Amino acid sequence: MPRSHVFHEIFLHVNWHCHDDQGLITPDREALVHGYIEEYCRKFRGVFFQGIGGTATHIHLAFQIEPFVAPADFIGKAKGYSSHQANKQLGADALKWQRGYGIVSLAALNLPAVLRYIQDQKLHHQRLTTKAKMEQYYVDLPEGVFVPEAGE
């Protein structure tokens, strides 16, 4: 656990998609794209990388944050950094993210299960065993609009 003067166990699981849900994260690009996101997590003060995974169309990221970190600020900058670096390496418009993201918090004791879920993304999507809460994202809604799942 990171050292801080404030006790905190703030763990987040985030996912976001490629522009128009395109399969831009091809197998030959996956390590590069995931590497840029992990690199940015490790550079960002107060963010502690836990795991990354995904498919050709989207990313899943787990991290811990200190209380002073604004998740929206960090996620926006991580998306910007990763697409900028990938496009510098692979060519213009090689990677473009869709607007928005999904985010859920989790307890520290659930982190191992979430990390397994993230690591096994390709398998979950192949078998259609994804968990709606962890796959949820909103991209074309006006700012500040939340649409709950049925039963919420």
Question: CB atoms < 10 A from the CB of 76, how many?
Answer: 13
**pLDDT tens string 83-124:** 999 999 999 999 999 988 999 999 999 999 889 888 887 665
What gap in Å lies between CA 52 and CA 119, rounded to an integer?
7
The superfamily CATH assigns to domain 22-95+113-135 is: Transposase IS200-like (3.30.70.1290)
Domain borders along the chain are: 22-95+113-135
What are the beta bridge partners of residue 103?
14
What gap in Å lies between CA 49 and CA 69, rounded to an integer?
14
Residue 33 dihedral angles phi and psi, to the nearest 5°: -65, -50
Read off the pTM: 0.79
